[in-house]
Structure 1
Amino acid sequence: MKIAYTGWTWLINHEDNYKWEFEQFLKEVSDLGYQAVENFAFITKYFDNDADEVNGLLKKYNLELVNLYEHYTNDPEADYQSALEYVDFMKRTGATYLNLQGLMWEDAPNNRPTDDARIREYAELSNKIGKLCRENGMYACFHPHANTPVFTEEQIDLLMEYTDPELVYLCLDTAHTTLAGMDPVKAFDKYASRLAYVHLKDVDPDETVHPEWPMKRFRPLGVGTVDFKGIYKSLQKNGYDGVLCVELDIQPVCNYKSAMVSRRYLHDVLGL
């Protein structure tokens, strides 16, 4: 399995300094021994769609770009047009996976009743983007996420039912499945046949911590209570040999420290 890290949290500080921050991200995760990286698809804008410049930085730090991450809006046609641009950029950088995420809300309540009509809309769009990805030798991976219409087990099941298994795959996230009330190990077993990409992060089990925004309970690997040994065994049992991508939304200290703690855990505990 290939070990990757997500870089968007480096790129949220200085609007006029994104290229420097992206290179700093590459420098730090390379130093820590990660093999690959992913980033939100907005890096295509930061680099004016210049794949050669990104490739030069990746080569400088001996890293591979494996994934771009697209966020849906309320405009499916615009989302598909964005996917066309992202897939073109991915072809020129060698990336293989396009993550897809539903529109995220930031107002209460965090969890909302299942919206079957919206999930059907996402399924239709995801099938269309999935076909585009397959035609270009890539995988479209839907990412269930807190504060979006596809989060709970019921909602994931509906999306899987409404999408073509040969076009739309899953990116399961260990922390979001935990927040959704699922047992992550059982979830990885259940969805093994649709799994094409993995996000790893830990969770503080104390639900009294940040009840207004539970994603603030996310932690570096080994600092919470997610059963990563069990998840790794599930992945091995089901023949998964893809990317394990670490991500962390909130940093206890800084990006480098979080990435270091997680990399040490993967090496010392899982032998990766």
Structure 2
Amino acid sequence: MHIDDFGMDTITLAGGLEAKLAAVKAAGFSQIMLMARDLVGHPDGVDAAVRAVRASGLRVTGFQVLRDFEGLSGHLHDYKVDIAKSMLSMCAALGCRVLLACSSTSQHASADPDVIARDLRKLALLALPHRINVAFEGLSWGRHINEFTQAWDVVQRADLPNLGIGVDSYHILATQTPLDGLAQVDPRKIFLVQLSDFMWNEVRTPEERMATARTFRVFPGEGVHNERLVALVRMLDRMGYRGDYSFEVFNDDYQQLPLPVVAERARRAAVWLGEDILRRSTPLPNRMQLRPARGALAG
């Protein structure tokens, strides 16, 4: 893994899309993870948002997030298929190759893994003409699937080349899922890795996990689970994963800070992981060699 394999997520930053893109670019990153609302919420419309992203020169890591897709039936299933088609169209317009789908929290969703696999297979087939990969992620508060091991099981059952899993360090830390389960995962079927930490030791209930995930994640190196997060990154590297890493940091405090301040925190996290943890020595694109500030992000 090299430093330029890291990207930021717009969810971390306050302000409009163009300002976010500029801040991420100025910090030296070459890629960004977008949410659908970055496009549909743009004051000049979706087409203008797409133009802004393309003009920024940033590669789109992935597009998120399709929720509660699998396990539904009848009109609920049809409704979600329509939502998926719209999201895939936006994803394709961006030139993005990964759509993130997270496990269902719906009380109407089936727990049958074969039903879930069938629906994920349908989603992947919808994505295939767009040349988009679907990364299925187990939310730590998911109703039936809440760990990456369960997500991997249904992905295997669905068995399509453009269907894989998304690995999110927050959910692994929240559920305390043993990392040795990764040994069963084909690294070529990990389509996205999202990294973040949080600042207390445990989140015991689904409600606690959701609240922490959506308001108080922090960048790698800023939380209290450095040892396990480092172990995760090193294990993925040893497995041969060479895809993207995105900092998915939902944090209400960061939404109140200037964009350059938050982007700098992300930059320090990328340098810490890339250089200090994995001992790579590749600078961020178009920048001098970067080093963490003194005392910052000690592992």
- Return the TM-score normalized by structure 2: 0.72
1:71 aligned residue = 67
Tell me the SS of whatever aligns to 2:232.
helix
Tell me the SS of whatever aligns to 2:274.
coil
8 A contact 2:168–2:195 mirrored in 1: yes
Deviation per CA, 1:93-147, whole angstroms, max 9, x where unpaired?
2100000013347xxxxxx9x9633x44432221111122233221011011122
Give the Cα–Cα distance (whole angstroms) in 2 for the partners of residues 222 and 30 of structure 1. Answer: 22
Q: How many residues align?
A: 255
Give the Cα–Cα distance (whole angstroms) in 1 for the partners of residues 165 and 204 of structure 2. Answer: 29
Larger radius of gyration: 2
* 2:6 counterpart (3, 6, 17): 3
Letter in 1 for 2:36: A
8 A contact 1:127–1:164 mirrored in 2: yes
Give the Cα–Cα distance (whole angstroms) in 2 for the partners of residues 138 and 21 of structure 1. Answer: 26
Q: Say which is worse superposed, 204-213 or 70-79, in terms of deviation.
A: 204-213
Q: 1:189 to 1:260 in 2, by over 3 A?
A: farther
Q: 1:246 to 1:82 in 2, by over 3 A?
A: same
Q: 1:153 to 1:51 in 2, by over 3 A?
A: closer
Give the Cα–Cα distance (whole angstroms) in 2 for the partners of residues 208 and 156 of structure 1. Answer: 21
- RMSD of aligned C-alpha atoms? 3.2
Alignment of structure 1 residues 1-272 onto 2, 5 Å:
2-10=5-13, 21-47=16-42, 52-69=47-64, 70-72=66-68, 75-104=76-105, 116-117=111-112, 119-149=113-143, 150-152=145-147, 155-184=150-179, 186-193=180-187, 194-207=189-202, 213-215=208-210, 216=212, 218-224=217-223, 225-226=225-226, 227-254=228-255, 256=259, 257-271=261-275
Letter in 2 for 1:144: G
- Return the TM-score normalized by structure 1: 0.79
- Aligned-pair identity in percent equals 15
Letter in 1 for 2:267: R
Deviation per CA, 1:67-93, whole angstroms, max 9, x where unpaired?
111222562222222222222222222
8 A contact 1:220–1:259 mirrored in 2: no
CA positional deviation for 1:222: 0.4
1:15 aligned residue = none
Tell me the SS of whatever aligns to 1:222.
coil
Letter in 2 for 1:191: V
Letter in 1 for 2:120: S
8 A contact 1:97–1:140 mirrored in 2: yes
Q: 1:234 to 1:62 in 2, by over 3 A?
A: same
8 A contact 2:11–2:248 mirrored in 1: no
CA positional deviation for 1:173: 0.2
Give structure 2 stretches of 5+ with no counterpart: 276-281, 283-299
8 A contact 2:8–2:29 mirrored in 1: yes
Give structure 1 stretches of 5+ with no counterpart: 12-19, 106-111
Q: 1:120 to 1:41 in 2, by over 3 A?
A: farther
Higher relative CO (Cα under 8 Å, sequence separation at least 6) belongs to 2
Q: 1:72 to 1:157 in 2, by over 3 A?
A: same
CA positional deviation for 1:178: 1.4
